[in-house]
Amino acid sequence: MDEDNLIFNYKSEEIENKFRFEHTFRNNGYKLNTGISYENVTYANETFNKININDDIILIDFKSRLNFNKFGAFAQLSKSLLSSRLILSGGLRTDFCDYSETMLNPLNQLSPRISASFSITEKLSFNSNIGRYLQLPAYTAMGYRESNALVNKNNLSYISCEHFVGGLEYAIGSNSKTTIEAFYKNYSGYPLLLSDSISLANLGSDFGVIGNDRVSSISNGRSYGLEFLYQQKLYKGFYGVVAYTLVRSEFGDKNDKLISSAWDNGHIVNLTAGKKFKNNWEIGVKWRFSGGTPYTPYDLQTSSLISVWDVNGQGVLDYDKLNSERLKPSHGLDVRIDKRLYFDKWAFNFYIDIQNVYNFQSELPSYIDVNRDATNAPIISGDNPNSYETKYVSNTAGTVLPSLGIMIQF
| Residue 2 forms part of a structural domain | no
What integer best gives the mean pLDDT of the chain? 91
Average pLDDT over residues 62-75: 94
Q: What is the pTM of this model?
A: 0.85
The pLDDT of residue 234: 86
- HEC string of 120-144 equals CCCCEEEEEEEEEEEECCCHHHHCC
Structural domain contains residue 251:
yes
Residue 86 domain-assigned (yes or no): no
H helical segments located in 74-160: 101-104, 139-142
Model pLDDT, residue 3: 58
pLDDT in tens, 296-336: 999 999 999 998 888 888 888 898 899 999 999 999 999 99
223 falls within a domain: yes
Task: Flag whether 98 is in a domain.
Answer: no
Calculate mean pLDDT across residues 171-186: 93
Q: Answer yes or no: is 121 within a domain.
A: yes
Distance CA 382, CA 108 (A): 59
In the predicted structure, residue 92 carries a pLDDT above the cut 70: yes
Neighbours of 120 (CB within 10 A): 12
284 falls within a domain: yes
pLDDT band at 211 (very low <50, low <70, confident <90, very high): very low
pLDDT over 70 at 144, yes or no: yes
State yes or no: pLDDT of 8 exceeds 90: no
Task: Classify residue 75: in a domain, yes or no.
Answer: no
Mapping DSSP onto H, E and C, the string for 184-210 reads EEEEEEEEEECCCCEEHHHCHHHHHHH
Q: How many angstroms separate the CA atoms of 164 and 130, rounded?
A: 5
Give yes or no for residue 255 having a pLDDT over 90: no
- What CA–CA distances, in Å, run from 18 to 40, 43, 95, 133, 189? 7, 15, 14, 20, 25
Whichever domain contains 214, its CATH number is 2.40.170.20
Q: Does residue 148 have a pLDDT over 70?
A: yes
Structural domain containing residue 349: 116-409
| Total structural domains within the chain | 1
- Is the pLDDT at 210 greater than 60? The verdict is no
**pLDDT tens digits for range 216-235:** 999 999 999 999 999 999 88
| pLDDT on residue 117 | 96
